[in-house]
């Protein structure tokens, strides 16, 4: 256990981490904008080519999914393990930070829960928890591969998926750039849920029985609800604490973006529910008509 703690929270590279354009890859605004632009352009181009420009000899196959072999399973397994490592590293690092700075909190009467939700003013993006925040930021780029898997398999490109994945990268970038409050709890719950989701996806990718999309949807609902509660906690602490929370401008921006994602998610769920109800109504109507015809033929 001591070795795990050392490699995940006490290693000199972790303790001495500093978010800066000269020391951290991908830490500039130009990189962020360029990466998201390339992602959206590449996904859109691939979707366009597969759906509108098939070769004449392959037109009969244009709707068939392109076989990807074990690649999605390997990706799900990798993301599951990476998320689990980030969760454990963030948890151990947060515990170490609380241990090392507890003496300073006595003056400001701060407790660990307040620190997890609300960084003190003047907090810099250095040290253990920001190292794992940086790893989480980099892992979001590996997460983007899910979009291309979906396009290759189903020939569909969801605008919600594009927007959601792009916002996740922007959010994690803002966490580091402005030392935003609440990010420690956000990383912990996100990586914990993602570990479960990707473990389930790996389970289904290797051919084991699935429970349907309800598991992933429930995990998404849980994550959204947790974010909402924590955002309310940050707002409460910012209003009652002297000086407020660090990075509150970035927090407001992320709150708006998360609100947009929540609205789009609810809109998508409402549309799917409405479509399912309409299909069930149509099927019931057809069965009713068939039963009426049978009665007429038998008795009439």
Indicate the DSSP class of residue 126. Answer: B
Question: In the structure, what pLDDT confidence band is assigned to residue 105 with cuts at 50, 70 and 90?
Answer: low
Domain boundaries, the chain: 2-290
Q: How far is CA 150 from CA 29, 62, 168, 187, in A?
A: 28, 15, 18, 25
- pLDDT tens readout for residues 75-88: 999 999 999 999 99
The pLDDT of residue 25:
92
Mean pLDDT value of segment 32-48? 94
Q: What gap in Å lies between CA 11 and CA 128, rounded to an integer?
A: 9
CA dihedral 285, 289, 290, 291 (to 10 degrees): 100
Burial string for 201-226 (b: 16+ CB within 10 Å, else e) reads: bbbbbeeeeeeeeebbeebbeebeeb
> In the predicted model, what is the mean pLDDT of the chain?
84
Specify the higher pLDDT residue, 198 or 297: 198
d(CA 182, CA 119): 8
Residues of 245-281 as b/e, b for ≥16 C-beta within 10 angstroms? bbbbebbebbbebbeebeeebeeeeeeeeeeeeeeee
**What pTM was estimated for this model as a whole?**
0.86
pLDDT digits (tens, 9 = 90+) for 238-291: 888 777 889 999 999 988 888 887 787 777 777 777 776 667 666 555 444 454
pLDDT for the residue numbered 288: 43
* pLDDT band at 237; cut points 50, 70, 90: confident
């Amino acid at each position: 256990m001591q070795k795990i703690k050392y490699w995940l929270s006490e290693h000199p590279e972790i303790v001495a981490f500093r978010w800066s354009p000269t020391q951290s890859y991908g830490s500039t605004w130009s990189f962020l904008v360029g990466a998201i632009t390339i992602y959206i352009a590449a996904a859109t181009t691939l979707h366009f080519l597969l759906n509108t420009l098939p070769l004449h000899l392959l037109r009969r196959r244009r709707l068939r999914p392109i076989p990807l072999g074990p690649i999605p399973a390997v990706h799900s397994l990798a993301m599951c393990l990476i998320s689990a490592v980030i969760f454990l590293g963030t948890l151990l690092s947060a515990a170490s930070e609380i241990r090392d700075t507890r003496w300073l909190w006595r003056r400001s009467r701060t407790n660990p829960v307040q620190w997890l939700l609300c960084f003190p003013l003047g907090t810099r993006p250095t040290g253990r928890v920001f190292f794992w925040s940086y790893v989480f930021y980099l892992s979001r780029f590996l997460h983007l591969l899910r979009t291309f898997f979906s396009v290759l398999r189903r020939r569909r490109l969801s605008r919600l998926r594009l927007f959601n994945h792009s916002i996740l990268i922007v959010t994690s970038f803002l966490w580091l750039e402005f030392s935003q409050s609440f990010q420690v709890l956000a990383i912990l719950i996100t990586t914990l849920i993602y570990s479960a989701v990707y473990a389930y996806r790996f389970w289904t990718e290797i051919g084991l029985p699935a429970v349907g999309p309800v598991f992933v949807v429930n995990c998404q609902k849980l994550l959204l609800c947790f974010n909402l509660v924590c955002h309310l906690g940050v707002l409460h602490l910012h209003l009652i604490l002297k000086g407020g929370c660090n990075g509150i401008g970035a927090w407001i921006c992320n709150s708006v973006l998360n609100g947009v994602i929540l609205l789009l998610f609810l809109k998508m769920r409402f549309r799917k529910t409405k479509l399912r109800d309409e299909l069930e109504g149509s099927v019931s109507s057809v069965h009713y008509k068939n039963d009426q015809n049978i009665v007429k033929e038998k008795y009439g």
